[in-house]
Amino acid sequence: DVKVTQSSRYLVKRTGEKVFLECVQDMDHENMFWYRQDPGLGLRLIYFSYDVKMKEKGDIPEGYSVSREKKERFSLILESASTNQTSMYLCASSQGTGENEKLFFGSGTQLSVL
């Protein structure tokens, strides 16, 4: 089974801190994604990557950056955390980009910015 692991289940940070959310997948998937989930808004795409060292902006990239130095690891970075970034962050991966390619998700990181 594919396993997508997010380093923290719960995280509490202060406003202005630099925050790293780590995600690792163990099935040699090409593609990795970061979504944030907020009540009433569903899942919104922040950034994604189709290859090592490549990144693409999603629908809401402002205030975030990403890093993919190795195929299995995709990091989400909040350069200066703000309270409106309090949210559930979900990492996902997939092998291909065909229409039928499903995503495999991690358990999520609930981030609170105080």
Partner 1 sequence: AQKITQTQPGMFVQEKEAVTLDCTYDTSDPSYGLFWYKQPSSGEMIFLIYQGSYDQQNATEGRYSLNFQKARKSANLVISASQLGDSAMYFCAMRGLRNTPLVFGKGTRLSVIA
- Smallest gap from Cβ 36 to partner 1, in A, equals 11
Residue type, 45: L
In three-state secondary structure terms, 84 is helix
- Smallest gap from Cβ 80 to partner 1, in A, equals 26
- Smallest gap from Cβ 3 to partner 1, in A, equals 11
Question: What residue ranges bind partner 1 (CB under 8 A)?
Answer: 9, 33, 35, 40-45, 48, 50, 58, 88, 90, 92, 97-108, 110
Q: How far is CA 45 from CA 16, 56, 61, 100, in A?
A: 23, 10, 8, 18
Strands 19-21 and 73-78: antiparallel
Q: In this complex, which beta carbon is closest to partner 1, that of residue 67 or of residue 110?
A: 110
